[in-house]
Amino acid sequence: MQARSVGIITRIDVRDPKGYVPAFVKHLSYKVKLFLDPVTAGLCNSKEATEVDEMYADLILVFGGDGTILRSLQLLPKPTPILGINMGEVGFLTVVDPESALYMIDDIVASFEVTERSRLAVKRNHEDLPCAMNEAVVLTSRPSKISHFRIHVDGKLMEEFRADGVVLATPTGSTAYAMSAGGPIVDPRVDGIIIVPLAPYKLSSRPWVVPGKSIIELELLREDKESMVVVDGQYMVNVGTKDMLTFTRCDTPALFVKFGDKFYDLVREKLT
């Protein structure tokens, strides 16, 4: 693919002492049509800012960490290839440093390949919630309170258990909250959904990996326990015993600029 227009999104508290973001903007301004989010526009002293939900571009550059990409995915008006440039603390989705990206940006804009990452569709009863790039977490509204969950996979009872909550993650999200809760690391190429109980009462309640085409239904069984579902740490909504939460593969995957196969390198780098 070729990019004739590029959107640039920058983490709100980004540290850029070497001025990489303004350098990208200046360099690309002669080559493509640019859309700058308000933070980027402020860094470049530009009066022309575009909100993320109005960025209809061929390519999106995200300066920050994984959290910045997760926020951007919730806001972008259409599926758009993203190149994550690591200027944050965590970088499983931000795969290249700013110096290398600046060196290669002309080649990337001229011709790049796209890789798809599956997302998780989340539904409360008949209401569609935002799709999750990493995970959807169901947990009690009050800290340190245990709840009671029942999970069916494709109509069959998987498990009924008491726990602080449940993480339902994509393979991409397996290195995030799910991993911290004791779930497995799953290669993003695997077509699966990870289910991880949070601090379960019984030691027999273990993480599961189910097929990516599964329909997962989750019910809350304790009427006295208010709970919520949190999508990628960006969106939350209250749920109760009268609600049915359904999780399936999202019809629209996230799109990323293909930048080599660095998953195992990133895992070794970030987790050692």
Residues contacting 204, CB < 8 A, separation 6+: none
3-state secondary structure the chain: CCCCEEEEEECCCCCCCCCHHHHHHHHHCCCCEEEECHHHHHHCCCCCCCCHHHCCCCEEEEEECHHHHHHHHHHCCCCCCEEEEECCCCCCCEEECHHHHHHHHHHHHHCCCEEEECCEEEEECCEEEEEECCEEEEEECCCCCCEEEEEEECCEEEEEEEECEEEEECCHHHHCHHHHCCCCCCCCCCCEEEEEEECCCCCCCCCEEEECCCCEEEEECCCCCCEEEEECCCEEEEECCCCEEEEEECCCCEEEECCCCCHHHHHHHHHC
Token representation of residue 42: 């402020």
CB proximity list for 239: less than 8 A, separation 6 or greater: 124, 138, 220, 227, 228, 229, 245
Q: Among 207, 135, 141, which Cα is nearest to 168's? A: 135
Which residues are the active-site residues? 66
Instruction: Please say whether the beta carbons of 53 and 77 come within 8 A.
Output: yes
